[in-house]
Structure 1
Amino acid sequence: MRALIDVGPTPEQLSLISRIQMGVEVIRGAAGSGKTTTALLKLRSSIGAFLNRKRRQKRTTPINILLLTYNRTLSGYVSELAHKQFTNTPEINLEVSTFSKWAKNSLGINGNIIDGPEDLISRAEFLNFCSNTNLSADFVREEVDYLMGKYLPREIAHYLTARRDGRGGTPRMAQNMREKLLNEIVYPYMQKKYANAKFDWNDLAVAMAERKFHAYDIVIVDESQDFSGNQIRAVMNQLLDDHSVTFILDTAQRIYARGFTWAELGISVRPENSFRLSANYRNTKQIARFATSLLKGIGTDDDGTLPDFSATTREGQIPIVLKGSFGNQVKYAINFIKSKIDLSSESVAFLHPLGWFKALEILLNDADLQYITITRASDWPIGSENIALSTLHSAKGLEFDHVFILGLNAEVMPHGDGNEDEKLLTLRRLLAMGIGRAKSTIILGYKPEDASTVIEYLDPETFMDIAV
């Protein structure tokens, strides 16, 4: 599978990577602005600066470098690109990993990690709580993940009165409801975890935040908006006194129930240590407008950036939205690939919210089109296949020449009621992110009688309808 990114600086990036400073730097980048490329360029310039410093100081130990991404697929992709530029030598020790893999290896944990309350609290108790509070099970799971990732265990009571940054306006969590969640779900879950010596994914972050295992010179965290507060604390605890740590993020593209502020993490972000990338270099004007229409009305904080269309100069085909059965959507896509795409030099991705690809695989096989599934793959595929199948989540940070997102039905994109429902806001950001993976063409598809309501947020002036 071809890795598309050309690791060469844009004008915006050039001014950024030419400055290397000690301490924390925050880079906020809009969709398509080249955040992952920026991570690699920042890595290159930081290594050069630290190697020069090491030689001046006649230091004999290697420069220790960590590049963290938020999922396995992106980690494999970035690792492939990074190791094309750098190889570990006696002077350089470079590690590319996801947070979870890095933390498990650091802590020496080989056993199973539990996912959340339902692994220890009976399902009947959990569902009874949901029924009594009129909260969906998905919302409760995400709220627990949010608050346990945001606060250290000894500070978890802060949740009662703190702002719920990054969690939307509905369902509303008044203080009495928060107290009920803590007393009936969170505290019993924590007690059972400790009594049974179990670890969940947040415990990995807490352990790394409270114990020092490493001494990194350089750390770069890509897609930082999808890290929890405790994960950021863990990273900061593993640095040398003289260090360079770069957080690259865009909260407008946040797709997990997480949120933190730099102030609550004890990190000072000022004009001299922050930078914003606003130009969209990946997408055509047409694709950028199509994706951004999904984000209209969704507020952004200081760490979110909307693309600057005035700097998007590349023209292209208007996005296409197919209306019809899933089988007919796929047939259209296959005909499009065979008639308009050169698979020897161009890449294609089929993205799906849940990764339901069984029916698609049958039709691709019948059409004699080779493909590879990259969801959760820890290594970037090096075969000749240039068609990738991936969940939307696993495609984050990647890019392809052509993208198809078919089968956008209500069943695969469930959410609550109201425009401010957090799940709905997340799905809108998720689909916008998926559209933004495309460099040249984007084609969506749905069955009209089963359409996801997320489709209603697309601006009809930005795409062409085709019945299939």
Structure 2
Amino acid sequence: MAFTVPESIRSTATAGERLLFRTLKTYLPDDYIVYYEPNIHGKRPDFVIIGPDLGLVVLEVKDYTKNTLFQLNQDEWTLVTSSGEQTKTKSPIKQARDYTFHIVDALKKDRSLVQLEGKYQFQLKFPYGFGAVFTRLYQKDFIEEGLYSVIEPSLCLTRDEIDPEKEAFSEENLVEKIMNMFVVPYRLREPLMKEDMDAIRYHLFPEVRISAEFKQPVPYQDQLLLSLHDIKAMDLHQENLAKQIGSQNRLIRGVAGSGKTLILASRAKLLAKEHPDWNILILCYNISLARSIEQMIHHMMKEPDSLFDFDFTSGEEVIQSNPHNIKVRNFHAWLKNDLNIQERDIPTIIEKLEKGEAILPMYDAVLIDEGQDFEGDWFQLVSNLLNPDTKSLLLVEDRAQTIYKRKRSYVQDTGLSFQGRSKVLSINYRNTAQIVKFAWEFYQNKSKLKNKVVSKEHEGEIIAPQSTRRKGAEPAIIKTDNFFHEAKFVARQIKKLHEEKKVPLSEILILYRVKKTYKMDYISVLRRSLEQDGIGYYWLTENSETKRAFEKDDNRVKISTIDSSKGLDFQAVFIVNIDNMPFALEEDKEREASLLYIGMTRAKEFLCLSYSGESEFTRYLDQVEAHKKLVRSEDERSG
């Protein structure tokens, strides 16, 4: 079964389009991608098919009958409308061909997708083709009407070739005809790799780019092309969700690392492009996440639809960054700066808004990240300021990351029902399989909510994560005799990762639960150790100003509380001083388990947990280490 984008076809599609959609989805191989009416740089072909052993094929779909056709040639068709009038239109094959070359021109500029030598130098390294599908005409109609003299038989599909209920239909014939709709004579010697498939998607659909990773290309054509090898694009499931969220209120529940924030930002970009006059608001709980989303949105809106829209003579972008209509705020900054109210005023303001006695800014779309941390009356306030005509509210949450006690009743809080309007993201893309397993086993062991874990879409509280197949190092557990030695160890390991594994300092995060106690100023000790090893650092959570000034790519290690790391991710994460967890002054142990789980799932590649004292959580880590040693010794004996 092929992967389709969108997942299901819109209800207003023609009967013929719905039939072809179902047939392609059912009968094409699993590793094929079928796009229905994709928006490719302003053009909308009916279907685009990409397959590893196929290349790329564009299909134009027509519901013409024999009575529709009046006069035809290879370029122009004269049709008879239902009212009996004649109208001229471009030949379906010419339409499909034009769409195809529009796509090919966009892809040819990527050096990784073209042949660099030989007979077909500078052509795409894979075949591309086009065809037309006639959903109400049969092969016998083509023969009787002489249509094959106008359209090459290899470039068209008829009803009996796409309808599984017709006797003449066969899966082999369908696939063979699509495989032969080519205007270039060569076939693929080797199938396209996943990187090639991603590169095609990356150029054709700007919304699938993970733009937080986007680096400004250098202003020389050859180097620009080379710089696009290390591209990063959304997973197909994420792409489907970002494009298919639909209008009005939606709820996305996802595990840590599933791309919730990325989808939210991508959705905001799509709304801003489709509705440039809309007032769009993104809200989240913590300041550093708001700053991170703001940077992501900035990159997304600044990036041209085509990465090749650069003036190579001047070295400047042809497309200038325009101010966009998306505001990103953490909730309390929004209250203070945009609404000019305080949290204690919210119930009174809601009452006044409902009576029409107060005027505050209205928003055409609101997107809320980390919704599990929002209070009920916060949602009420937001829903009162949401345009009732659009009802465009996107709520994103992961209850395994809940660190504040909130009551959950979205219908009551927002006045909007999310029944049938929610999606679950259970695949963790951020972390390696080892980190996902380690973090989830800890959470299940220490969380009281573990009995509420389910994986079905609308049942239960917590979603169990499924990891991707990406493998990596096992998380490291380090026990020292005092915090001075712990801080020295962390500094040495950071230096080692940077020098030997080439991990940028800006991709390293140190997380702490407690800044200082009467016994020890943990941050001072940590900073001193980093300075002694010549490691630049930025204390993200020193104060509210440092949170607002946070720039991830500044070539410095970041130091942060676990609370403020929500929504962020780094290649390497060190969680220090775990003996202060659960924190003695924190009565809610559930919050502490969620916090440590959040901290662990910030790490994309490397995770290190260190401690120099004892607590409930360190005793768990001691048991994990003891079990690992036991397994190793048994392996050595049996080996």
| TM surpasses 0.5 | yes
Structure 2 equivalent of residue 368 of structure 1: 534
Is the contact between residue 210 and residue 234 of structure 1 (CA under 8 Å) also seen in structure 2?
Answer: no
| Percent identity between the two aligned chains | 29
Q: 1:381 to 1:411 in 2, by over 3 A?
A: same
SS of 1:28 mapped into structure 2 = strand
Q: Is the 8 A contact 1:220 1:245 kept in 2?
A: yes
Structure 2 counterpart of 1:295, from 443, 447, 451 = 443
**Matches of 2:405 and 2:579 in 1, distance apart?**
22
1:255, 1:429 within 8 Å by CA — same for their partners in 2?
A: yes
Letter in 1 for 2:372: Q
Q: Distance in 2 between matches of 1:330 and 1:452?
A: 19
Q: Distance in 2 between matches of 1:242 and 1:231?
A: 21
Matches within 5 A, 1:116-265: 201-204=343-346, 207=349, 210-211=352-353, 212-243=359-390, 244-265=392-413
Q: Is the alpha carbon distance of 1:371 and 1:101 closer, same or farther for their aligned partners in structure 2, counting shifts above 3 Å?
A: same
The answer to whether structure 1 residue 267 and structure 2 residue 416 are counterparts is yes
1:439 to 2:588 alignment = no
- Equivalent pair of 2:242/2:267 in contact (CA under 8 Å): yes
Amino acid at match of 1:451: E
Specify the alignment match of 2:572 in structure 1.
Answer: 402
C-alpha deviation, 1:37, in angstroms = 0.9
Partner amino acid, structure 2, of 1:75: A
Q: Which has the higher contact order (CA 8 A, sep 6+)?
A: 1
- Secondary structure at the aligned position of 1:216 is classed as coil
Contact 1:354 1:412 in 2 (8 A): no
> Structure 1: how far apart are the matches of 2:234 and 2:626?
30
Out of 55, 59, 83, which is 2:298 matched to?
A: 83
Q: CA deviation at 1:438?
A: 0.3
Is 1:414 matched with 2:584? yes
Judge conservation of contact 2:575–2:610 (CA < 8 Å) in 1: yes
Give the structure 1 partner of residue 465 of structure 2.
307
Give the residue type in structure 2 aligned to 1:213.
L
Which protein is bigger by CA-based radius of gyration?
A: 2
The answer to whether the 8 A contact 1:406-1:444 is kept is yes
For 2:627 and 2:508, locate their aligned partners in 1 and report how far apart those are by CA, in whole Å: 20
2:279 maps to 64
What TM-score do you get using the length of structure 2 for normalisation?
0.52
The separation in 2 between residues aligned to 1:411 and 1:290, in whole angstroms, is 17
Report the Cα offset of residue 48 of structure 1.
3.1
Provide the C-alpha distance between the structure 2 equivalents of 1:317 and 1:26, rounded to a whole number of angstroms. 34
**Structure 1 gaps, min length 5:** 52-61, 110-198, 417-421
Q: Does 1:451 align with 2:600?
A: no
Query: Shift in Å at residue 346 of structure 1?
Result: 5.9
CA shift, 1:386, in A, is 2.9
Residue identity in the other structure for 1:318: E
Are residue 40 (structure 1) and residue 265 (structure 2) matched?
A: yes
Unaligned 5+ segments in structure 2 are 1-210, 215-231, 303-319, 354-358, 453-458, 516-521, 630-639
Partner of 1:25: 250
CA distance in 1, matches of 2:243, 2:405: 34
Shift of the alpha carbon at 1:304?
Answer: 2.9
Question: Which residue number corresponds to residue 16 of structure 1?
Answer: 241
Query: TM-score, normalization: structure 1?
Result: 0.69
- Tell me, in whole angstroms, the C-alpha distance in 1 between the residues paired with 2:434 and 2:470: 9
Q: Which residue of 2 aligns with 1:329?
A: 486
State the Cα distance separating 1:207 from its structure 2 match: 2.6
Task: Report deviation, 1:34.
Answer: 1.2
* Shift in Å, 1:245: 1.0
Tell me the residue number matched to 1:319: 475
- Residue in structure 2 matched with residue 350 of structure 1 by the alignment: 510
- Distance in 1 (CA, whole Å) between partners of 2:626 and 2:374 is 32
The alignment covers a number of residue pairs equal to: 353
**Aligned amino acid, residue 316 of structure 1:** G
Is the 1:343–1:386 Cα contact (8 Å) retained in structure 2?
Answer: no
Code of the aligned partner of 2:618: I
Q: Secondary structure at the match of 1:100?
A: helix
Alignment-derived partner of residue 286 in structure 1: 434
**Cα distance 1:49–1:343, how it changes in 2: closer, same or farther (>3 A)?**
same
Q: Is the 8 A contact 2:514 2:580 kept in 1?
A: no
Residue identity matched to 2:463: T
Deviations 1:234-279 (A, max 9, x none): 11111112221100001111011222222332331212x1111010
Question: For residues 439 and 462 of structure 1, do their structure 2 counterparts lie closer, same or farther at Cα, with a shift above 3 Å needed?
Answer: farther
2:564 is equivalent to residue 389 of structure 1: no
Deviations 1:406-452 (A, max 9, x none): 11124772267xxxxx61111001001000000011111112xx322
TM-superposed deviation, 1:329: 1.7
The answer to whether the Cα contact below 8 Å between 2:503 and 2:571 also exists between their aligned partners in 1 is no
Measure the CA separation in 1 of the matches of 2:437 and 2:626: 7
- Once the two structures are superposed, residues 198-242 of structure 1 have per-residue CA deviations (whole angstroms, 9 ceiling, x without a partner) of x5x343475357535122111110000001111111111111122
Post-superposition CA distance 1:351-399 (Å, at most 9, x none):
0013441110011111110000112411332663330000000011000
